[in-house]
Chain A
């Protein structure tokens, strides 16, 4: 049997235990619940397995076989070979959580570097070592707000994804937190400030905005919102696309308290939507309320620099039901990819990639809206995603698909008011040929 070296030694080892049969080792399982076998096929050889998986793989169409212009948060980005090489080091990818720091200094230092870079990017003081994804990071942020100020109402705008709203409800229900949704401006796609003002009250624990939001539009009134929240003593939670932070203000500049985000775009493949990377950063004053793992720098017994997990009394393995979160396994390797990616880019590279994504977003939007029948839905400044309204969304979508292009994301099922609307997204990965084909097909169905 592959991967089980002691199979041939079974009888000898049993003998040393004073047993005759492997079944003796399972005598503590009552007879009536014992089974003889699993009703699964025989194992395959590695060659057979690859053949089987190739057949399955052929039933999928990858980005390069069928370019996609889907918005909605997930987008393909270029991943440098260096990043792939680092996360392919088996010392990293096969390691456990670094509970034994003396033999995990490498990973611990990498996490420390990640925490430092995320703090720098978001303008926060501290970052944790990752959560599952951007959606659960929102849930954890809402819980953290209530832990800090004991208030029980968390405010979100309508212009975030349905998935996030749903995950948030599941995360907050147990703590008795209600979520209140405020509308977006029909014209700009931005959060409606006057609704926000009216909603704030003495029980508002925190407010979440997303920058850019689900429609790709930047919320440019961070200062105003943070002033309102300060006055109301509510916390300010901001969601970011980390790849936009090379060119836009970081949330620290408009005085956010907690910054979260989906970090998949930092060196991680699409992977059909997972694995993901939950970014979670906050101000220093809240560090003891943060969910998840933190790595600190300290010394060893000889005074030499060392790293270890720290402030562990927040965590489930010490505090059990009083922990700040139940999270144990996080997204370590995705975090390592992000750390490698950010150090490969550097500050200058990040600015470049942000600029490219911004400009390509503007260019594609202008090219699409120059075709008769396609209109930009929201006037707010957008990043690399934007909403287009057309005459017949189903027809457009189907005809693109038939020609081997996945167009924008259909929005009507989640946002009934956005009839015939498509959410487009573009990154540095889309080739000129992809764009040319998209435009010519759009012209054809307009």
Chain B
């Protein structure tokens, strides 16, 4: 069972012995530029720095600490070989502006990955430039706007999305300048076709959908949905956060989607890095290809090159060509898995999710809103626990920590009350799934007070997040100015 180490680790600045040392300015700089004040960064020995960050690492849960079943996050194992290869100097020490003759390997990797992703999703062309899923969405919507403007259709200023969508979807739509129309889902948790029909009009630029959706339910009406969207003259956008469910089984391109973004840091196993870097490639059908960001990677004879000559392109959405280290790791991962391995990935991810779902729901402690068959993730509700024992989803999540397990995503999607959104991924062994299930069942039967005051076995107890937002302490400096002292032990 995972246990966090417990250190009363001081802040870096408090590791330094105070010395009065003067700053000697660089006199050769003109006075208008010259720094005159000391830089208040602690001066430490490497020993101290390493011990500090080592201690911090031991107070952090990673994928090798245990199961990490955050729904819609696809926290799968990150193969070591991908990390190692990405550190080779011939990849890590490449300059983005080097002459093309000296980066043929990197270009080939990008070119081949674009085509692999095209095969996996059924899309015609890809860009690897977006730095993350949300930036992929933003890019995709910029493409949608460019498409409509190209066709001199300037009245489309709305993006429709279901109420189960990820928060980034409406945020990206708003950043692109679109009005957001949110439509309620059916009782089953799927797109309400009546509502969609009402919402679609000559003002609709795009309908954004995750399939399977965030409840883990496959939108079986997808072909009809695509037809409705296209009849209205709008485009259909695929949020690829849940692609881990359907590789080798079905492809967004065949379902009728026009624009797709993927999260290489989910489906294709590149590590999350505690929040990034990610990579959010965007694939499109041929009708949108001309708008893709530049440069495009092209093959001329036996050589690869960057091509900027796309006059209708939206230009750039990020410096460089994307997060190349993530691109490289995903490429290595796909080579390792092969087409059949990716199919197996989705099959077992779905099997694991349905296995957990069945055992949890059969127990009677947790309820399953919506259709029974799920894909790679499922959302159960703690509503009964709340009614009977006053235990909330958040309490269950915190109590899981005491058993050394990472909690699932909680309170999302919003239409499910007291939601636990569980995505085990294909990486977890049956024994781990069984332990997780048993622990969730055990928690449901524990004394309410015990659960409500969890966690106990973590480095800190339940955190005052309200206080944190009320009087934000965001830096060492603010911490020093706060009168009330906060102690580490």
Contacts and interface: CB of A to CB of B under 8 A. Distances in A.
B351 A6 contact: yes
A297 B175 contact: no
Given A103-B401, A220-B33, A96 B68 contact: yes
A13 B430 contact: yes
Interface in B35-61: 35-44, 46, 49-50, 52-61
Given A35-B248, A98-B274, A330-B276, 15 more contacts: A3-B76, A4-B345, A29-B220, A49-B332, A58-B105, A82-B46, A86-B54, A93-B273, A97-B275, A100-B406, A109-B56, A119-B477, A169-B315, A298-B463, A311-B472
A35 to B, nearest CB: 6
Given A103-B406, A106-B58, A171-B175, A343 B41 contact: yes
Interface string B76-116: 11110101010111111111111101111110110000001
A29 B218 contact: yes
A39 B317 CA distance: 31
Contacts of A129: 275
Interface stretch (B227-235, B282-290, B333-341, B377-385): B333-341
A301 B461 contact: yes
Given A100-B397, A326-B172, A406-B98, A306 B460 contact: yes
A16 B358 CA distance: 9
B89 to A, nearest CB: 4
Which of B11, B275, B354 has the most chain A CB atoms closer than 10 A to its own CB?
Answer: B275
B226 to A, nearest CB: 10
| Interface bin, chain B | 35 or more
A53 B62 contact: no
Nearest to B76: A3
A321 B42 CA distance: 40
A344 B50 CA distance: 9
A232 interface: no
B109 to A, nearest CB: 6
B392 interface: no
Interface in B472-489: 472-479, 486-489
B250 A345 contact: no
Interface string A119-162: 11100011101101111100000010000000000000000010
Interface stretch (B128-136, B195-203, B439-447): B128-136
Contact of A38 (B59, B247, B325, B426): B247
A276 B323 contact: yes
Contacts of A231: none
A296 B487 contact: no
Nearest to A136: B318
Interface stretch (A59-67, A370-378, A385-393): A59-67
Given A39-B339, A323-B167, A167 B319 contact: yes
Nearest to A299: B464
Interface in B416-473: 426-430, 453, 455, 458-465, 467-469, 472-473
19 contacts: A3-B76, A28-B220, A29-B220, A35-B248, A40-B119, A56-B109, A91-B65, A94-B63, A103-B458, A105-B460, A113-B11, A167-B319, A174-B174, A305-B486, A316-B171, A320-B180, A331-B276, A346-B42, A401-B99
B463 A308 contact: yes
A115 B475 contact: yes
B258 to A, nearest CB: 15
A186 B173 CA distance: 41
A113 B16 CA distance: 14
A22 B348 CA distance: 9
A36 B305 CA distance: 34
B476 A409 contact: no
Nearest to B485: A305
Given A92-B62, A174-B175, A346 B463 contact: no
A161 B218 CA distance: 44
Contacts of B428: 5-6
Contacts of A100: 61, 397, 401, 406-407
B164 interface: no
B472 A76 contact: no
B342 interface: yes
A74 B95 contact: yes
B115 to A, nearest CB: 10
Given A43-B340, A86-B57, A170 B373 contact: no
A163 B318 CA distance: 8
Interface in B197-238: 217-218, 220, 222-223
A272 B217 CA distance: 39
A40 B4 CA distance: 41
Given A35-B248, A43-B338, A249-B35, A174 B318 contact: no
A344 B45 CA distance: 7
A17 B96 CA distance: 51
A252 B416 CA distance: 46
A414 to B, nearest CB: 11
Contacts of B348: 4, 6-7, 10
Q: Sorted from nearest, which 5 A-B pairs have the closest CB atoms?
A: A273-B320, A174-B177, A273-B96, A43-B338, A333-B273
A331 B337 CA distance: 26
A143 B172 CA distance: 13
B389 interface: no
B448 to A, nearest CB: 17
Which of B109, B462, B475 has the most chain A CB atoms closer than 10 A to its own CB?
Answer: B475
Nearest to B347: A22
Contacts of A164: 319
Contacts of A323: 167, 171, 174
B322 A92 contact: no
Contact of A321 (B34, B65, B106, B171): B171
A40 B469 contact: no
A320 B90 CA distance: 41
A235 B70 CA distance: 40
Contact of B53 (A27, A61, A110): A110
Interface in A1-51: 1-7, 9-10, 13-14, 16-17, 22, 25-30, 32-35, 37-44, 46, 49-50
B249 interface: yes
A271 B94 contact: yes
A444 interface: no
A263 B323 CA distance: 14
B42 to A, nearest CB: 6
Interface string B2-35: 0010000101110000000001011011101111
